[in-house]
Amino acid sequence: MKTIYYYQTFVGLDKILSMPEIVDTIIVSSIHFDKNLIYLNDNTPFDPIFNQLWTQTNILSQHDVTIMLMIGGAGGAYQELFKNFSVYYPLLGNLIRSKNIQGVDIDIEEMVDINDVRMLITHLVNDFGTSFIITMAPVVESMTSDEPGMGGFSYKELYTSDVGKYIHWFNVQCYNGSFSYQTYQNIINNEYPSTKIGIGMMSGDFSKATFPDALNEANLILDKYPSMCSVDNWEFFDSPPEGVVDPSEWARKFHNLNYLCRGWLH
């Protein structure tokens, strides 16, 4: 079970740098496109404001932490990307190469054509190879049913298409009370393999008092599905149970749970 942080509020990764083995993946968020430029949140990715970010992610990648980029999310990206693909895609490729990015998380929260999504995945595979990690971040309802999601397309249709084999896993947004064994079971019942399904929480969904409930739900999933792909949190800076005091505690707890469930930690 991978431990994954989304990282958008760039408070520094010092807590992780001191113990990189507790984290598998950090997804730097989020990439957008506008006026023939690529943006990381409100600035271009090469702005000096991000010097610490890229220095720290580079160090972590040398300690086997996978560094990815999230594209889109609530701020959008894909309508602009697909409208001017010949301009924006090379900018994305340049960023991936220059910052040693090992994958992208495709978070579509705007209406798009499924064929454009297939085209993007095909380009990424052709340019960066099949080992380049491609994930997606659907909401729960898009995985427990086959109805069109926020992007206006069916994830099941995409997953069973010619590019489905290139989707390494799904970071399912199990927010607002849906981070649970039952949610995971419902997704598996909809014919997705556990190796492809990770469940994600928002920091605000759990307090220090209720965080043991999250660990228990993950424990239940691991007990039945030892090949469960991952857990993730949106986002790093205020991750439960310790919040801004020590956001690395989230990964430490899940990392230890992972080992306990396999009998490697006593």
Q: Tell me the domain boundaries of the chain.
A: 2-261
pTM tops 0.85? yes
What integer best gives the mean pLDDT of the chain? 96
Q: How many C-beta atoms surround the C-beta of residue 232 within 10 A?
A: 27
> In this model, does residue 260 exceed pLDDT 90?
no
- The pLDDT, as a whole number, for residue 264 is 40
pLDDT category at 259 given cuts 50, 70, 90 is: low
Distance CA 160, CA 163 (A): 8
Comparing C-alpha atoms, which of 234, 201, 231 is closest to residue 6?
Answer: 234
Q: In the structure, how many helices (H) and strands (E) does the chain have?
A: 10, 9
| The two structure tokens encoding residue 119 | 């085209």
| The two structure tokens encoding residue 236 | 């790093």
Q: Given its phi and psi angles, is residue 35 left (phi above 0), alpha (psi -120 to 50 degrees) or beta?
A: left
Q: Going by DSSP bridges, is the β-strand pair 197-202/230-234 parallel, antiparallel, or unpaired?
A: parallel
Segment 200-229 shows an average pLDDT of: 97
Comparing C-alpha atoms, which of 81, 133, 58 is closest to residue 102?
Answer: 133
User: Which amino acid is it at 16?
Assistant: I
User: Which amino acid is it at 199?
Assistant: I
| The two structure tokens encoding residue 45 | 């990715």
- The pLDDT, as a whole number, for residue 258 is 75
| The two structure tokens encoding residue 73 | 């999310």
| The two structure tokens encoding residue 94 | 């340049």
Where are the extended beta strands (E) located within 63-158? 66-72, 103-107, 133-136
- The pLDDT, as a whole number, for residue 100 is 95
Looking at the domain covering 2-261, what would its CATH class be? alpha beta
Backbone angles phi, psi at 224, to 5 degrees: -90, -35
Give the rounded percent of residues in the chain with a pLDDT score beyond 70: 97
| CB within 8 Å of 71: residues ≥ 6 apart | 30, 31, 77, 78, 81, 92, 104, 105, 106, 107
pLDDT category at 265 given cuts 50, 70, 90 is: very low
pLDDT tens digits, one per residue of 101-113: 999 999 999 999 9
